[in-house]
Structure formats: structure tokens, C-alpha cells
Amino acid sequence: MSGTGVASVSVALAGSGGAGVMTAGNLLLQATAQAGWYGLMVRSSGPQIRGGEAAALLRIATRPVDCLDDRFDLVIAVDWENVHRFADEIPLDARSLMVGDPDHGSPPEVFAQCGAPLAQIPFKRMAKAIPGSWPNMIMLGVAARLIGLPPETLKSIVRKSYKRGAEGLAASLAAVDAGVSAAAELPETLRLVSPRRAEKPRWLITGNEAAGFGAVRGGVRFVAAYPITPATEVLEWLAPTLASVGGALVQAEDELASINMAIGASFGGVPALTATAGPGLSLMTEALGLAVAAEVPVIVLDVMRGGPSTGIPAKSEQGDVSIALNGLHGDAPRIVVAPTSIADCLTATQWAVHLAERLQAPAIVLSDQYLGQTRAVVDRPADVSFKAERVLAVPHAEGYKRYAATESGISPAAVPGTPGNAYTAEGLEHNERGIPSSQSRDHLAQLAKRERKLRQHDYGRHWAEVEGQGDTAVLTFGSCTGPAREALARAAEQGVHARLVSMRLLSPAQPERLAKALAGVRRVLVVEQNHSAQFHRYLRADFDLPGEVRSFHRAGPLPIRPDEIYQRITEWSRA
Amino acid sequence: MESRMSSAAAAAPLTWQAFKSDYKPIWCPGCGDYSVLNSATKAFATLGLRPENVAVVSGIGCSSRIPAYTSCYGFHGVHGRALAAGTGLKIARPDLTVLVAGGDGDGYSIGGNHFLHACRRNVDLTYVVMDNHVYGMTKGQPSPTTEPDWDSKLSPGGTGLRTFHPLVIALAAGANFIARAFSGNPNESAQILAEAIRTPGFSFVEILSPCVTFRPEQRDWKNLVRPAPVAATDDPARAARRIMTDDGFNIGVLYKGGRKPYQPPSGKATKHLAELEAEFTI
């Protein structure tokens, strides 16, 4: 490898279902990670369960990356049959390179029109010539050669992950070599700069795994699960993991059951979580109100997908902001936390567990399909000490009042098994003892208590990520943080300096903290991925934003690209 | 020495009255649920339980107000989800005795799906349904167990729908213990409840509990109930025949199986938290 080359390369591997593009993508990501680069891989597939078209969208870089790039440098198709369905997701231009099998169709019209040259490699014929091999391994060799990944590193990963017999492995390795050779004549413009020696330990992880890990680290030991795309992997990761740390996961009959099971377990003193997506969150809202009223901590991880209704199950959108912030009846203060990156799914979820338990309230973690299902090479997240620490009542507490209207609003919780403090956790409005009451003074006192405990808590520096300087700011949350950060880095290279504020804590709102973070700012660009600017409307309602405020919002499923933010920020700040 | 004394004190059996709270029920005079409360507390006392180790979990409805009337830990949740909450609690805290209680609307209508799955899951808890064939709290609408021709404002002339047969459905869905009791016989009900709690797995006890306000004709139930003519069987086919063909007034334990209670794989921690990150480390 030479010291020259590109700092980031974007590669799309595509083909029909069963062609093995996801396997190839995962191996490529693992191998580049092994070689020392950073990167990520977004899985994109059609609506079919199996057998539909698929694309592995990769970005490999010399530094950590949190989002896909604006365009792709390289698209390799095992076959072109249904690749047109991904045309919107794989933007190409004249500098891109297309590689395909001439025996299996030709690039879709939109690709051909962009002016990118096409290299022909007969993947299937080449695979046939190596008995026992598959075209996706040829593709993998081609990709490795084009981006400058040492074949030996790739082959060591293939060896490690191969699970079917020595003959098949030898064929796969031969196919990789054949791919490397076949690409020898192709341009070398896409080769990456050699990776720097990794100074810090790195992880290869998805946001869904990170969220599950954060939950376990925070102290969650009960999970109720109902499968739903794109949250299922969280639950599947947690099932064996929880058992290995002394917890339990139970599959519920529906989301109404899963949230109520979690609340029941937490009433028993065991920190509890469920993970779902929009349709499940809709079903859970009634029980979340119970958790507010009865003051039972519970964590709901919402891996957002396109909505409303069944929507677009396997694609990302930040459309659940409003339901997360406002979707309960009555005045129901709750905690809403949004991870700012794939790796932050760990910290944000761990923090949410801590906050829910500390404040005896439900916490919603707003992840999304992009954060959840994208696998990325990340620096090992810094350890945080957030733990589930519920304030518990001592046995035989004198004149015990479960819902005592304390100054902090937090009243010691008695866990079943504690003698002398039995009470009834109550969804009816109640007095301090938990006895149902419809009297005005009890209602006012309990509403105020529940609001006070969330408002008075010191959320510390974790409420947001605040970066950069300048009188222009991008204000965003969740998976838009990655493209926003990249856009501002590009703007800075052009001499346009702006701040980035990515809010991790959406509820309770922190207007004073935000005002401080935006002090001196004259222009605020609010960025989010949904159709009706839900985040912007929330900011308008609960905050005083300085200067001129503009909203850049667009629905999924296409990701917000760095360039879209870059253009808006640079044009605006020069205006 | 001191700890021995306190453990001796803790072991002293409690009276059934000790399982009652000082909170006055909202139930109408003559409601069958008063008697169910007595039976449940008697069962707890008979079994030598301690109030702090018992959790009474309910949903919404007249009978679902029962947790606060006991001196046990109570959970008064949302409508229809008591079994889900009780299931989560018991799985997370297998050391507790969990009694889930409610009415026919809560359990068979809005909570019907959870009823099916609680039967098949067979978690070690007891589910008591105080069945009065009516929604009482909302002042008299037909429930799944209401007769098809029962006239009401919401369903003038009756619903015309078949009544739900909870015991047959419980059996078909896999409940491990099925009994019918009558609130008018509190001591017998207490015995049935004690046996239900003692029996491992999901125990379902349907207690006929008259609503004298909206179904005054149910005062006559005391003349209709009778002990089941034969003892409990462990043969589901035989139990099915009996439960299908009886008139709904045979009282006693009708089915008692031997299914192993459900508990998900959990228990001893075999991994340290720090070990978990190995799978992600490059």
C-alpha cells in the first residue's frame, strides 16, 4: 500500500436475493476493520423476506464515519437484474466506476446516464471455473483490489468466518484471488490511504447491539420482547446475553403484553426494557401513561422506521418525535433520549436506564433503522458510570408514603418483599399513600411531583453534544448528527465555521442549556428526517431560539446527505 | 440471637384479617367481591404467607380494585393487562406469590389475548376472575359471559352473541389448574384458592360473584350452585367433556394437570459484563 490515495471510499455491492451481497459486504467491512480502517455498512433490501434484491452500502475511511457519503465511488453488481430499485440510494456520477457481469444484464438507465464508466467482469462464469465457489467471492476480491485492501487480510477474515468444510473454503479463497486478479487492470483511483495505526481499541457493532449492551450495562435484567422490524435484533442479541448475566427475556404475545410485562417486572424491582418500532410504540402508549402515574421505571427503545401505520418497515425515518414527546393522554412527563451515533446507542441507552430508574419514570430511547441496523467500525465508547439506582424505601419505614410529595419529587419506592411498606402501585390518581383520589389537591400535588422530579434533575453534560464555534448553528438529533457533523467539517475547510448541537435529551426539555449552547448564534438550521418538521415544531414550542431559524426536514427513507446540509449552511452564512 | 428471634417472629402465622388493609372498598352493598376478598386473604393465611411476599395484580373494573383492599403489595394497572403485568412480575421475581385478579370484561374481553397466552405460557401464578356477567363500573353493559338476550342500553334486546366459555377456553389453551368457585361460599372458595396457589403453574379460578346492582337476578345463584359431582381429573379430554356439558354451576377443582411451570432461561450469571465486549472488539 502506498501513502497516497483517498480518505474515504463508498462502495455499493448489489445483486439479486441469494447472490450473497450481504455476506460479501460484511466480510469486506470486517476485513477493512482488521486492516485498520474505519467504516460502516448499511443494509438495503427489497420488501421480500428472502430472495429479493439486496444492496450492501459501504463506506470505508481513514477516520470514523457516522453516515453514508453523498455519492458512491463504486458499484459492483453480481447481476443487474433488479439493481434499478436501488438507484435512488446509490447516487453515481461521472467519477464513479461501475463493475458488472456482462452475462447478466446491463446497468439501469439512470446509472448509465450519469457517465460513470463500466467495467465488465463475468462473475458467474469465473465462479463456475472454480468448482465450489460463488460469484460473491469474486466480487469481494474485485472490491478489495479496487480499494487497496491487502488480499491476505481479506482472506484471513474469509477463513475465520467460513463454516462449511475445507474444500469450500479453498474454493472461496481461490475465488477471492481470481477477483483480485480480474481487477488488476482497473483504475487505481479508488485506493484508500493506508490506515493509521489504531491508537484506541475499536469495535465492530450495530446500533441495535450497542443499545442492547447499554441496557445490560445500565442494569436491565428483564426484557419483554415482541418481534418487529427494525428492532428485532436488539431483542435477539439480548436473549442469550441477558441469560448469561442472570437476567431473563420473555417473548410476549403482543406489544401490549410486552410493555405491561416490563412494567410488572420493574414494579418487582428489576430494571426492565422492551424494544420496538412505531407501531409497537403506538400500542404501548397507554401503559407508558401507567408507568408515569404509578411511577414505575421502564425503558422503551424505539427503533424508528418509516410511518405512519405499517409504513416502510425496513427503512429509516425520524417520524416518532411527536408520539415520543406527546403521545400519552393526560399530563404525562416522560424521559426521551436520542442516541447521537451508532456507538452512542450504547451510552444513550445506558443513560436512559439510569434516568428511568433514578426518576421512577418511563424513558423512551429514540433510535432509528439507520442507527440500529448499520454495522460500523467505531472507537470503543468511553465508559460511563450510569447505573440503575432506584431510591428504595427502608423496611418498616415509619408512616410510609409511596407517593410522598417530596421536594425533589422522588419518593422512595418499596419493592415487593420489603416488610412493612406494602402499597398499591396505582394508575388511578392517588394521594401520597397511593390511595385512589379524585380530589383536586391530590391531583395537583401528584401532577406537580411527577413534573418536578424530571425538571429538577441535573442532567449534566450528556444532555447534548455541542461542538464548534460560529454564529451559525445546526441543531439536530439522532441519525442526522452524522451528516451534520460531516457537513460542518467540510464547511470549516471552506472557512465557514458553525456550531453543531445534537440533542441527546429531548424530554424534559432543557431550554436554559440550549440557550447557553446557542449564545451569540444568529442563524439556526434545524435538521431532521421527517415530513412535518416534528423536531422543529417541538423546538418552537418549548424553547426560545436565537436569531433566524430555518428548518431543513425531509422524510425518509433516503438518508439526509452531508452535502444537503453543507449547501444550506454555506449559502446561508454567505448571504 | 436477635436475628433468630426476629426470624421466629417472622414465622408466626398471621390471621386472615392481617391480610386486609384499612382502606374501605368502593363496592356496592351485597357485591360478591367482598366475599372474594375474604377468601383470598384466608387462602394467604392458610398457606402461611407474609403480606410483603404476596403481590396482587389487577386491571380495571369493580373487582380490579381488590389489590388496595389487601395488605399485600398491589399493582392496579391498565384495563385488560393484569396478566401481562403479573407474568412479568413473576418471571422477574419468582420468589413472590403472585395473584392476578379481575372481572369478566377485563379478563375475557379487552384482556382475552393475554388470557389465552397466560394459559399456554403456564407461569406459576394464580388468576382469579370474579365473573358477574356484566360491566359494573360503567353501569351495566354486556360482557363476554353475558347471556345473549340480556337487555341493556348499549345492546337493546341483547347482544345476540354466544357467551364466552372461560373454563373450556382455559383448558384448550393449556391452563394447568382450572376451578370454579362461588363467592357465596367463602370458606370453600378460600380452600380452592389455596390449592390453586399451591399448585405450580398457571392456575385459573373462576369465581361466580354476583352483581346485585346491575344483575339482581344473580342473587339466585346461591340456589343454583352445587359441588361438582366428581373429583378433579388430570385427563384433559375428560375435563373438557365435563366442563363443556355442565351448566356453569358445578363448583370445585375441575382440572389439575402436571405441566412444568414456565421460567425462561435465567438465573445464575455466568458471564462478567466486561466479557461481553469481546464479541465487538476488533
Which residue do the cell numbers 375475557 mark?
Answer: B108
Contact A134, A144 (CB under 8 A): no
The pLDDT tens digits for A273-302 are 999 999 999 999 999 999 999 999 999 999
Amino acid at A186: L
Residue A64 burial (10 A CB sphere; 0-12, 13-18, 19+)? middle
Amino acid at A279: P
Residue partners of A151: CB distance under 8 A and separation at least 6: A141, A144, A145, A176, A177, A180
pLDDT of residue B248: 95
Positive or negative: CA dihedral B179, B185, B188, B192? positive
Which residue do the cell numbers 440500529 mark?
Answer: A372
Q: How far apart are CA B37 and CA B19, in angstroms?
A: 10
Residue partners of B61: CB distance under 8 A and separation at least 6: B79, B102, B103, B105, B106, B135, B136, B137
Residue partners of A417: CB distance under 8 A and separation at least 6: A269, B52, B53, B93, B95, B96
* A380–B87 C-beta distance less than 8 A: no
Which residue do the cell numbers 424505601 mark?
Answer: A393
What's phi and psi for A92, nearest 5 deg?
Answer: -120, 160
Closest residue of A to B100, CA-based? A264
Q: Which residues of chain B have pLDDT under 70?
A: 1-11, 266-267
Residue partners of B4: CB distance under 8 A and separation at least 6: none
Q: List CB contacts (< 8 A) between B18 and chain A.
A: none
Nearest to B88 among A202, A222, A244 (CB): A222
Q: Return the number of CB contacts < 8 Å for A and B.
A: 182
* A246–B266 C-beta distance less than 8 A: yes
Q: What does the DSSP assignment read for A540-570? A: HHH----SEEEEEE--SSSPPPHHHHHHHHH
* Residue of A234, A251, A254, A243 lying closest to A299 (CA atoms): A234
pTM over 0.90: yes
Contact A39, A377 (CB under 8 A): yes
Q: How far apart are CA B119 and CA B111, in angstroms?
A: 12
CA–CA min distance A447, chain B (Å): 18
What's phi and psi for B171, nearest 5 deg?
Answer: -65, -50
- Is it true that domain A8-182 has CATH number 2.30.140.10? no
Amino acid at A46: G
Mean pLDDT of all residues in A249-258: 98
Nearest to B271 among A221, A245, A294 (CB): A245
pLDDT of residue B6: 46
Q: What does the DSSP assignment read for B188-216? A: HHHHHHHHHHHSSS-EEEEEE---TTT-G
Residues A539-543: contacts with CB under 8 Å, at least 24 apart: A539/A475, A542/A509, A542/A511, A543/A509, A543/A511, A543/A514, A543/A515
C-alpha cell at A173: 479463497
Residue A198 has pLDDT above 90, yes or no: no
C-alpha cell at A258: 410486552
Mean pLDDT of all residues in A66-90: 94
Q: List CB contacts (< 8 A) between A205 and chain B.
A: 280
Interface of B with A in 180-239 (CB under 8 A): none
pLDDT of residue B2: 37
Identify the residue among B73, B96, B271, B273 best suited for mutation to test binding to A, counting A beta carbons within 10 A and taking the highest: B73
The pLDDT tens digits for A43-59 are 988 767 666 788 999 99
* B84–A261 C-beta distance less than 8 A: yes
* Residue of B103, B61, B111 lying closest to B85 (CA atoms): B111
Per-residue CA distances from B222 to A23, A541, B62, B150, B185 (Å):
70, 61, 21, 20, 9
Question: Which 8-state DSSP code applies to residue B108?
Answer: I
Positive or negative: CA dihedral A287, A293, A294, A295? positive
CA–CA min distance B263, chain A (Å): 9
The pLDDT tens digits for A23-39 are 999 999 999 999 999 99
Any A CB within 8 A of B49 CB: no
For domain A460-574, the CATH architecture is 3-Layer(aba) Sandwich (3.40)
Identify the residue among B7, B119, B282 best suited for mutation to test binding to A, counting A beta carbons within 10 A and taking the highest: B282
Angle (CA) A355 A426 B141, round 5°: 135
* Residue of A225, A198, A199 lying closest to A212 (CA atoms): A225
Pairing of strands A424-426, B54-58: unpaired
CA–CA min distance A401, chain B (Å): 13
pLDDT of residue B4: 40
The Cα diameter of chain B in Å comes to 75
Nearest to B78 among A202, A290, A419 (CB): A290
Could you please state the CATH topology (level 3) that the domain comprising A203-379 is classified under: Rossmann fold (3.40.50)
Amino acid at B266: S
Interface of B with A in 164-183 (CB under 8 A): none
Q: List CB contacts (< 8 A) between A414 and chain B.
A: 73
Which residue do the cell numbers 382455559 mark?
Answer: B170
pLDDT of residue A49: 66
Positive or negative: CA dihedral A557, A559, A560, A561? negative
For domain B30-265, the CATH architecture is 3-Layer(aba) Sandwich (3.40)
The SS3 call for residue A52 is coil
CA–CA min distance B271, chain A (Å): 5
Q: Which of these ranges, A1-5, A202-206, A442-446, A556-560, has the smallest mean pLDDT?
A: A1-5
The pLDDT tens digits for A218-244 are 999 999 999 999 999 999 999 999 999
Pairing of strands A222-225, A272-276: parallel
Could you tell me where in chain A the CATH 3.40.50.920 domains are found? 460-574
Contact A373, A230 (CB under 8 A): yes
pLDDT of residue A3: 60
* Residue of B226, B228, B234, B129 lying closest to B177 (CA atoms): B234
Which run of H or E residues covers position B223? helix B221-224
Which run of H or E residues covers position A203? strand A202-206
Closest residue of B to A216, CA-based? B273
CA–CA min distance B245, chain A (Å): 30
**Where does A66-197 show beta strands of DSSP type E?**
74-77, 97-100, 118-120
Closest residue of B to A436, CA-based? B68
Residue partners of A185: CB distance under 8 A and separation at least 6: none
Nearest to A264 among B71, B89, B277 (CB): B89
What's phi and psi for A353, nearest 5 deg?
Answer: -60, -45
* Residue of A325, A240, A252 lying closest to A539 (CA atoms): A325
* Residue of B269, B186, B277 lying closest to A212 (CA atoms): B277
Identify the residue among A200, A284, A424 best suited for mutation to test binding to B, counting B beta carbons within 10 A and taking the highest: A424
Q: How far apart are CA A407 and CA A411, in angstroms?
A: 9
Per-residue CA distances from B236 to A316, B116, B259 (Å):
49, 16, 12
Per-residue CA distances from A10 to A342, A550, A556 (Å):
18, 30, 20
Interface of B with A in 89-148 (CB under 8 A): 89, 91-93, 95-96, 113-114, 116-117
Residue partners of A49: CB distance under 8 A and separation at least 6: none
Which residue do the cell numbers 447478466 mark?
Answer: A104
Nearest to B86 among A256, A264, A286 (CB): A264
The pLDDT tens digits for A133-185 are 999 999 999 999 999 999 999 999 999 998 888 889 999 999 999 999 999 99
Identify the residue among A261, A385, A392, A433 best suited for mutation to test binding to B, counting B beta carbons within 10 A and taking the highest: A261
- What residue segments make up the domains of chain B, in order of their start? 30-265
Mean pLDDT of all residues in A241-263: 97
Could you tell me where in chain A the CATH 3.40.920.10 domains are found? 8-182
Q: List CB contacts (< 8 A) between A34 and chain B.
A: 282
pLDDT averaged over every residue in chain A: 96
